């Protein structure tokens, strides 16, 4: 590697390479012990996908409406919000013209990396609202709403988090009261925010752009069944003691007129104000005042340069020790993310057929992966910022903004500490099965290593002809593997849920 770098530097100094203003990173790449283009193609999923990504990046950089090349440093929040709205409109125009799902996925990914703040106004629709419709809506509801949603004729948001109830879904206060048909009026569900803490909070695109919302609420309906329901219709509409809560439901609620953008009667929203980052995304506070909703719920839920005589910064062992691990972690996290995506896809398919076992596994694995990956990402960004010295503190380096954009990751969509505990459940269940003598093939796929690796490690560390001592050593090794998870589970109730997470 050193010889190739020296050769590249010699060519550069001899005038056979780049000019004296050549990018030091390019010189480092030329001196690599591998072909960077091969690695790039591998990470992109193939040469064709790499070419597509590069073409989309070039298109974005030359499209002024997308604003990717605009200097956003120093913009006011209002200016960034306006520019991001223009970028979203242009993104949607290009999205509609894309000829395949593959191009659309690549476009969204490129947009997310180029401008996370503006992408947030798209991802709430594509990655939260649309999957909710596809997973929970009936065939009739999907036929009615999906075409418009997929074509961006409506822009959806995900209204779960409340001011007083972050990710504690069972404690949500927003109500959806069933109003039986009476006096010629059809039955409906009335969505209402009964208290200040019941306001939907941190709802991405909820403050300005979203026209519809997938609203999570407590279903309130008459407790009686059969003929007596007709007798309790009046009681239901007046909130008497004849009503009871039946659990959480998800309803599609229209927020704004799709033509004028004006809020509909009974719906109120306001912006949550400045944030550490992602100020181009309109996170909002949302309330409903007895808003009638005619359709049935979507679903009911359970719960300096080289060669100049100076040593390049990247050649210092201290910097290599700080930065190379971050590259290695990135290479490890990519296939891990793909594995989690595959498992979630399997869970969705199994759930459609009435199986929830894969869903439970996917929940534990994705929860643990979310916690570990976001902690590593946040720490990695800070490590890179510090490695830049004083210039890393400048917004022009791009790292403070990136750090601000990712600061929310360990807390939104579930506090990382609780997500790690959720992941530990599968690990502890696997350990318990191992301790009772279960074979590796009887364990969930994700924890089979508990039955395989300890035995191999113990056979090497504690060789013994005594079956009893070998078994005891295996159990001791297994216990050491799950000790940290067990300690965490003992410190926090397995049923603990966060009242403050869930920014979206």
Cβ contacts of residue 235 below 8 Å, gap of 6+? Answer: 222, 241, 242, 243
pLDDT on residue 203: 94
CA–CA separation, 141 vs 277, rounded Å? 36
pLDDT on residue 72: 79
The larger pLDDT score, comparing residue 503 to residue 253, is at: 253
Q: Please check the confidence at residue 236 and state whether its pLDDT lies above 50.
A: no
Mean pLDDT over each residue of the chain, to the nearest integer: 79
- Beta bridge partners, 217, equal 249
Rounded-to-10 torsion of CA 128, 134, 136, 137: 120
Please report, for the chain, the start and end positions of each structural domain, with discontinuous segments joined by +: 25-114, 152-301, 317-410, 417-491
The larger pLDDT score, comparing residue 226 to residue 342, is at: 342
Mean pLDDT: which of 10-19, 172-181, 238-247, 300-309 is highest?
172-181
Q: Is 124 exposed, middle or buried (0-12, 13-18, 19+ CB in 10 A)?
A: buried
CA–CA separation, 237 vs 224, rounded Å? 14
Q: Please check the confidence at residue 346 and state whether its pLDDT lies above 50.
A: yes
What are the two backbone dihedrals, phi and then psi, of residue 381, each rounded to the nearest 5 degrees?
A: -60, -45
Confidence of residue 337 (pLDDT cuts 50, 70, 90): confident
- What's the chain's Rg over C-alpha atoms? 27
The larger pLDDT score, comparing residue 460 to residue 214, is at: 214
CA–CA separation, 155 vs 122, rounded Å? 8
DSSP string for residues in 71-111: --TT--HHHHHHHHHHHHHHHHHHHHH-SSHHHHHHHHHHH
Q: Please check the confidence at residue 264 and state whether its pLDDT lies above 90.
A: yes
Q: Which of 100-109, 336-345, 461-470 has the lowest mean pLDDT?
A: 461-470
**What's CA 456's distance to the chain center, in Å?**
37
Q: Please check the confidence at residue 127 and state whether its pLDDT lies above 70.
A: yes
Assign domain 152-301 to its CATH architecture.
Beta Barrel (2.40)
Taking only the tens place, the pLDDT of each residue in 274-293 is 887 788 899 999 999 999 88
Taking only the tens place, the pLDDT of each residue in 377-415 is 999 999 998 888 777 877 778 888 888 888 888 888 888
Rounded-to-10 torsion of CA 445, 446, 450, 454: 100
Taking only the tens place, the pLDDT of each residue in 157-169 is 999 999 887 767 8
pLDDT on residue 186: 82
Task: Specify the long-range contacts of residues 2-8, CB closer than 8 Å, at least 24 apart.
Answer: 2/31, 4/30, 4/31, 4/32, 4/33, 5/30, 5/31, 5/306, 6/31, 7/31
**Secondary structure of residue 298 in the 3-state scheme:** coil
**Secondary structure of residue 116 in the 3-state scheme:** helix
pLDDT on residue 351: 83
Mean pLDDT of 30-43: 87
The larger pLDDT score, comparing residue 412 to residue 214, is at: 214
Q: Alpha carbon of 325 to those of 41, 205, 319, 391: distances in Å?
A: 21, 36, 10, 21
């Amino acid at each position: 590697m050193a010889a190739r770098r020296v050769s590249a530097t010699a060519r550069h100094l001899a005038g056979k390479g780049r000019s004296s203003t050549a990018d030091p990173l390019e010189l480092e790449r030329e001196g690599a012990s591998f072909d960077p283009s091969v690695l790039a193609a591998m990470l992109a999923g193939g040469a064709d996908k790499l070419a597509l990504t590069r073409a989309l990046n070039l298109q974005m950089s030359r499209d002024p409406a997308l604003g990717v090349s605009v200097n956003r440093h120093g913009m006011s929040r209002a200016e960034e919000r306006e520019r991001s709205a223009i970028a979203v409109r242009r993104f949607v125009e290009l999205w509609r013209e894309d000829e395949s799902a593959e191009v659309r996925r690549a476009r969204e990914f490129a947009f997310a990396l180029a401008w996370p703040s503006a992408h947030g106004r798209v991802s709430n629709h594509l990655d939260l609202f649309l999957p909710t419709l596809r997973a929970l809506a009936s065939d009739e509801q999907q036929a009615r709403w999906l075409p418009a949603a997929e074509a961006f004729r409506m822009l959806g948001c995900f209204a779960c988090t409340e001011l007083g109830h972050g990710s504690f879904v069972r404690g949500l206060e927003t109500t959806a009261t069933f109003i039986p048909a009476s006096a010629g009026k059809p039955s409906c569900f009335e969505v209402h925010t009964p208290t200040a803490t019941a306001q939907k909070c941190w709802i991405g695109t909820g403050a300005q752009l979203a026209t519809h919302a997938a609203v999570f609420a407590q279903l309130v309906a008459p407790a009686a069944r059969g003929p007596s329901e007709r007798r309790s219709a009046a009681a239901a509409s007046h909130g008497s003691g004849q009503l009871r809560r039946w659990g959480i439901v998800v309803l599609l609620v229209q927020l704004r007129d799709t033509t004028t953008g004006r809020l509909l009667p009974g719906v109120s929203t306001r912006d949550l104000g400045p944030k550490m980052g992602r100020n181009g995304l309109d996170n909002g506070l949302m309330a409903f005042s007895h808003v009638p909703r005619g359709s049935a719920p979507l679903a009911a839920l359970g719960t300096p340069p080289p060669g100049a005589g100076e040593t390049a910064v990247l050649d210092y062992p201290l910097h290599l020790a700080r930065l190379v691990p971050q590259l290695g972690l990135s290479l490890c996290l990519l296939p891990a993310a793909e594995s989690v995506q595959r498992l979630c896809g399997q869970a969705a398919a199994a759930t459609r057929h009435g199986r929830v076992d894969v869903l439970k596994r996917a929940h534990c694995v994705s929860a643990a992966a979310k916690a570990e990956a976001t902690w590593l990402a946040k720490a990695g960004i800070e490590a890179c910022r510090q490695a830049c010295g004083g210039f890393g503190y400048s917004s022009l380096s791009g790292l403070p903004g990136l750090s601000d954009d990712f600061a929310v990751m360990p807390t939104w969509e579930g506090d990382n500490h609780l997500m790690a505990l959720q992941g530990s459940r599968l690990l502890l269940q696997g350990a318990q099965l191992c301790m009772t003598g279960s074979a590796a093939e009887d364990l969930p796929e994700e924890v089979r290593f508990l039955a395989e690796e300890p035995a191999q490690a113990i056979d090497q560390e504690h060789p013994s002809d005594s079956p009893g001592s070998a078994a005891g050593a295996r159990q001791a090794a297994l216990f050491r593997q799950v000790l940290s998870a067990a300690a965490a589970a003992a410190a926090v109730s397995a049923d603990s849920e966060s009242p403050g997470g869930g920014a979206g």
